Structure 1
Amino acid sequence: MNYLFTMLKKLFSALYLGSKSLLIESQKKKMTATNIVRVRRLDDQCTRRMHGQFTYKLLYESGVSKERVFNFNRLISEPNSEALSRLQCNISKRLEDNYRKKNRSAAKAVDVNTEVFIDIKLFDEHGTEVDGSVPNSEAWVDGGSLKIEDVLYSIEVNPPRILEARLPSVIMTGFPVIPEFTLEFADRLECDFEWSQAAVPEVLIGCDFLYTPTVKDIGHRLTLTIIPKRGDRQGFSVTVVSDSEVKTGPDLLPILSRQNLPVKDTSVNNCRVVSYNLLAHTYTDTEFSRKELFSHCPVGYLEYDYRKSLIAKELLGYNADVICLQEVDNSQFSNYYQPLFRFHGYSSFLCSKRHYKIPKNWHAVEEEPTVNMDCEEKGDESLTEASVGTEGEGQIICSEGSAILFKDSKFRLVADCTINIATALETDSRYADIKEAAMNSRLVTEKLFYRSGCCVQTVVLESRDDKSKRLCLATTHLYFHPLGSVVRLLQTAVALRHIHSVKSSYKSEGCSMPVLFCGDFNSAPNSKIVQLVRSRGVSDNDGVWNENALYSMEGVNLQHSLYLETACGFPKYTNYVPQFKECIDYIFYEKHCFSVESVTSLPSEEFMASHRNGIPSENFPSDHLALCCELSWLPLE
């Protein structure tokens, strides 16, 4: 009897709910939904599809309602009626499947009509229904709307979106944590950020894009929610949780003792300068690097998530007005250094190394095997091919380069006059004598044009407080091979001519415009490269042109008219690894325009020797040491 009663109840339910009109009427009265349809559409020749997403609340016959996310991926050329028909089928199918599942027994006993009809219409920005024959590319527009039953959605084309996001694998107290995330149609500066400990996500501990963990965070994983925005638009949020727990950071004494914290802002008449080779991640992320070049350093301290935290802490501690960096990974610049320093009031510019592709008929010249001066026998793993547009197709863009940063409160950018040396030699007649001499040596030609991506990153800055003070700031990273002195010499000659030209172009009457030329020159103090910079000349009959048989070439007379001197002197070392310790980094300044007020001292040799006789290490993030000095403008003569 009970069984029969149960079957009759199910049958009645099936007959009642099988009515399309009754079911849909019920849905019309009770359904609600999120009111935005987000459509991603790239109108180009390669991307011919559009991707859409919206949330819709389904009310099932049991009375239970569930929010479902619906996605669609359609050709932009197809009629919009086909896209709407597919959406209609997808929503109906969800309702029908649930209905069949709930009423499977009754459906077997009686033929019940389970088809559900969902009314969907598309309207343009004026509220007019779009004809079904209009292609998707024209039908789905900003300001338009999609109506599903009685729920109206506004259409957003290309809304703010987070493509990917991650937190560093190493998170330490006292060191800023910055998420790496990729945005589409969003502005990083407008996004919202919510930091919390993973164990208590409802308690916010930070709301900036960076967060510096405290002792209270030790042992906890961090959670970050990012809400992408652009103007008045907001996309779907993304939440990421750190893989590792917050731990205590390393001893900062080696760095802090150099900086004499707190470091005050400089006066209008002074300028604090830093030059630093960061040791690019691409050069430590190989078995050869870990087992040979940097075998003295535990692998954990080579991890870039660890090293970049120390780099950031050190650089910010100098409170410099201008910073010149070498070996900056392209991806780390855009994902880490640029947003970090923007947050602290700096503008920053990256210049990736680049050079020409080796011609197909070119036969490379064999070099003698050697231990590199700057530990940079790194091969070409860091190279990726890319078109460079106006600079000529087929150039190779390296995965690292140089970067210039300056305080927005101190300077404004007047001009970016950066050049690539290979391109300049190929296209600029001002360097014709250097190119002609280089072409007489096959190996020198190969290194200048096809192997070394050396650039001269050059900017002209103007003081915000005193427009009579301008600065020509340049940085470079010269060719590395110990035997390639003539290559570095020619690169330096091109750089000096270019810098002089920039200074001449932007210097005006009554305006002081001294030159600062910083970087990794891969050259010892007694080298011809340093001689050229400081003594303003190397003759065409100098022995340097023939000091090595492989790089032997016809000499060229090199001269310049800048009066440059090294601001930090000649310390025993700026590059410090077990197999090589030498001064190869410099901050050159015009001595008749600037006076040196102070120089940040380097760690003692005894102290460095205690760090496994080489860096990087637990306390030093690079194989180089940062140079820092404070200069003062001299009165105009």
Structure 2
Amino acid sequence: MLSVVRVHLPSEIPIVGCEVTPYVLLRRPDGAVSTDDVPETAPADGQFMRYRWYRIQSDRKVPICSVHPMEQATIQCLGCLKSKIPVAKSYHCSAKCFSDAWQHHKVLHERASSAQNENGAEEEELCGSGGSGVLSTAGSGSLSNFGQSPSINNEPVPLYPSGTDKNSGETWYEVGRLRTYTPTAADIGHALKFECVAVDSEKRSPIGPPTSVMTSHVIPAPTPTPRRLIQVNGDVLGHLDLDSQTSSLGTFTVLSYNILADTYATSDAYSYCPTWALTWTYRRQNLLREIIGYHADIICLQEVQVNHFEDFFSPELDRHGYQALYKKRTTEVYSGNPMAIDGCATFFRRDKFSHVKKYEVEFNKAAQSLTDAIIPSAQKRLALNRLIKDNIALIAVLEAKFANHGAENPGKRQLLCVANTHINVHQDLKDVKLWEVHTLLKGLEKIAVSADIPMLVCGDFNSPPGSSPHALLAMGKVDQHHPDLAIDPLGILRPPSKLNHQLPLVSAYSAFARMVADSLTVDSLLELLDEESLRKDTALPSPGWSSDHIALLAEFRCKPRIRS
């Protein structure tokens, strides 16, 4: 007989827009225990599983704080209601919560005012003066006199007539008939119930009682204040002359983002972050929403797990017009689940670029060649243990579909080389980190020699300003007296004079994108998060920002090289 052994939820707190797939362990008619589904289309011995999701709607809906979704709201901003801002964003758990969030909250009012073309007097009425806002409150914590959200069209019909459960005052609405359910805005403030039962295919009747599990109240997805794209001048970034008379006929944006692989996003590592905000089902939707919102022409992601690239990012970004390239890390060191191996993924808009060529750099292979060349046989194992870190780089040569040639070069192809890497080396192994960066740059030099091509180097280098890898990238060489060079037990950095490259790179961010200065300029940069935003939830990751890194984006402008 088909039966349910155990059911539990990945997280007790459902979030709007993030699918919930319960863990269901089944015992099949042959006695085997498995999590594989038994659908009606493929029954087992005439039996299949039936699933139902219900919204449990009490007499009084529980409003949730828009800033602290784990807390019940006690006050509401009436300015939001007058501005027709989504009602979920108007709730706060305390006056202090509202006051602390005012600098971010008032942006919602300003945008609503701008969208509705309201005049200054109306704006003052809605927002108040001095950042106080307009509040409705109930001292006891009751929100019965608060403005309620407008009724939602196509509300589900109650499964049972209202008043069936008179003791609890609850009404059950059937909202889903699949194993997976994605909460909607209509579910906010309500608990959900998942129910599963084995069904006889012929009789269409349940076999035994159903097994069910309840969730906590559904909360809205946090909505951090969007980051702005800020114009920059040439004096700030490598003394580039944005006012040059040279014609610039093409611009494009590049995003670099270490998204924090799920295998590293544990409660042990990030104990300050709510458990529900660390689940992959939540983080992937939040990351995708953020990434898509930047509308970048080229996207370079790091720490993308193999299964997440294949099952999520590649198909999702394909639907938004992106073509994907991927390179996973090598596995000499890693010994866990093969699908949990992370790597680098590069995406580009098909309407702006076409793929010309792909290069893959495996630093493990370079380490093997290096030890064969300079390390005595007796020390090779020790040397490889130090050098092999499974890091890689993904290099893509793209051809722009927008015109960027002057009268002197009619019809010339506009190529672009984009390198994407993650230099993940322990901070004590400064020699290994510098060697990997130097190896990558030497490989890029070979590409630059073979083609007259602008070059961008994106990624997570784990190298702050002042470190030797940063100096090599930004300055083209490492000072022979740099303190990092004192750590070189294998002699791989000798002589120090070899630590240079000929690529004319400048920095868009301290550790983000490098570019060939005489063919690309920087028009604008995505603003960084201020310390207040970062510390609002202690640190990153947080409910609003789903990685321990922040996304970096630059807008570049192509221009023909200036020839003397």
Residues 73-88 of structure 1: matches in 2 within 5 Å? Answer: none
The one-letter amino acid of 2:502's match is S
- The 1:630/1:409 distance shift into structure 2, 3 A limit, reads same
Residues 190-229 of structure 1: CA distance to partner in whole angstroms, max 9, x if unpaired? xxxxxx97686999999xxx99864235458699xxxxxx
Q: Contact 1:417/1:502 (CA < 8 Å) preserved in 2?
A: no
List runs of 5+ in structure 1 lacking aligned partners: 1-165, 184-195, 224-240, 261-266, 358-381, 387-396, 571-584
Q: Contact 2:227/2:528 (CA < 8 Å) preserved in 1?
A: no
Q: Which residue of 1 aligns with 2:222?
A: 251
Q: Which residue of 2 aligns with 1:480?
A: 425
Q: Does 1:603 align with 2:533?
A: no
List runs of 5+ in structure 2 lacking aligned partners: 1-7, 23-34, 37-51, 56-155, 160-172, 195-211, 231-247, 404-411
- The 1:443/1:302 distance shift into structure 2, 3 A limit, reads farther
Q: Give the Cα separation in 2 of the matches to 1:592 and 1:566.
A: 13
The one-letter amino acid of 1:445's match is L
Q: Does 1:636 align with 2:561?
A: yes
1:448 positional shift = 2.1
RMSD: 4.5
Q: Does 1:351 align with 2:327?
A: yes
Q: Give the Cα separation in 2 of the matches to 1:204 and 1:347.
A: 39
- The 1:211/1:303 distance shift into structure 2, 3 A limit, reads closer
Q: Contact 1:352/1:398 (CA < 8 Å) preserved in 2?
A: no
Q: Which residue of 1 aligns with 2:201?
A: none
- The 1:205/1:340 distance shift into structure 2, 3 A limit, reads farther
Q: Does 1:521 align with 2:461?
A: yes
Q: Which residue of 1 aligns with 2:257?
A: 276
The one-letter amino acid of 2:289's match is K
Q: Contact 1:459/1:472 (CA < 8 Å) preserved in 2?
A: yes
1:252 positional shift = 1.4
1:478 positional shift = 0.8
Residues 1-28 of structure 1: CA distance to partner in whole angstroms, max 9, x if unpaired? xxxxxxxxxxxxxxxxxxxxxxxxxxxx
- The 1:434/1:307 distance shift into structure 2, 3 A limit, reads farther
Q: Which residue of 2 aligns with 1:400?
A: 342
- The 1:618/1:356 distance shift into structure 2, 3 A limit, reads closer
Q: Of the two structures, which has the highest relative contact order with CA contacts closer than 8 Å and spacing of 6 or more?
A: 2
Q: Does 1:215 align with 2:185?
A: yes
Q: Which residue of 1 aligns with 2:499?
A: 558
Residues 10-21 of structure 1: matches in 2 within 5 Å? Answer: none
Residue identity (%): 27
Q: Which protein is richer in strand relative to its size?
A: 1
Residues 424-478 of structure 1: CA distance to partner in whole angstroms, max 9, x if unpaired? 4435xxxx599637997875532323xx111111111111233622110111111
Q: Which residue of 1 aligns with 2:59?
A: none
Q: Does 1:495 align with 2:495?
A: no
The one-letter amino acid of 2:525's match is V
1:350 positional shift = 2.0
The one-letter amino acid of 1:411's match is F
Q: Contact 1:278/1:327 (CA < 8 Å) preserved in 2?
A: yes
Q: Give the Cα separation in 1 of the matches to 2:416 and 2:429.
A: 31
Give SS of 2:293's match.
helix
Give SS of 1:560's match.
coil
Q: Give the alignment partner of residue 321 of structure 1, picking from 277, 297, 308.
A: 297
Q: Contact 2:364/2:391 (CA < 8 Å) preserved in 1?
A: yes
Give SS of 1:559's match.
coil
Residues 15-54 of structure 1: matches in 2 within 5 Å? Answer: none
The one-letter amino acid of 2:471's match is Q
* Count of matched residue pairs: 375
Q: Give the Cα separation in 1 of the matches to 2:488 and 2:384.
A: 15
- The 1:171/1:634 distance shift into structure 2, 3 A limit, reads farther
Q: Give the Cα separation in 1 of the matches to 2:184 and 2:320.
A: 19
Q: Does 1:411 align with 2:353?
A: yes
The one-letter amino acid of 1:626's match is A
1:177 positional shift = 5.1
Q: Give the Cα separation in 1 of the matches to 2:469 and 2:329.
A: 20
Q: Give the Cα separation in 2 of the matches to 1:566 and 1:526.
A: 13
- The 1:537/1:604 distance shift into structure 2, 3 A limit, reads same
TM-score using structure 1 length: 0.51
1:501 positional shift = 2.1
Q: Give the Cα separation in 2 of the matches to 1:559 and 1:275.
A: 25
The one-letter amino acid of 1:462's match is E
The one-letter amino acid of 1:269's match is G
Q: Contact 1:168/1:177 (CA < 8 Å) preserved in 2?
A: no
The one-letter amino acid of 2:422's match is H
Q: Give the Cα separation in 1 of the matches to 2:355 and 2:213.
A: 38
Q: Give the Cα separation in 2 of the matches to 1:434 and 1:598.
A: 46
1:294 positional shift = 1.6
TM-score using structure 2 length: 0.57
Q: Which residue of 1 aligns with 2:80?
A: none
1:483 positional shift = 1.3
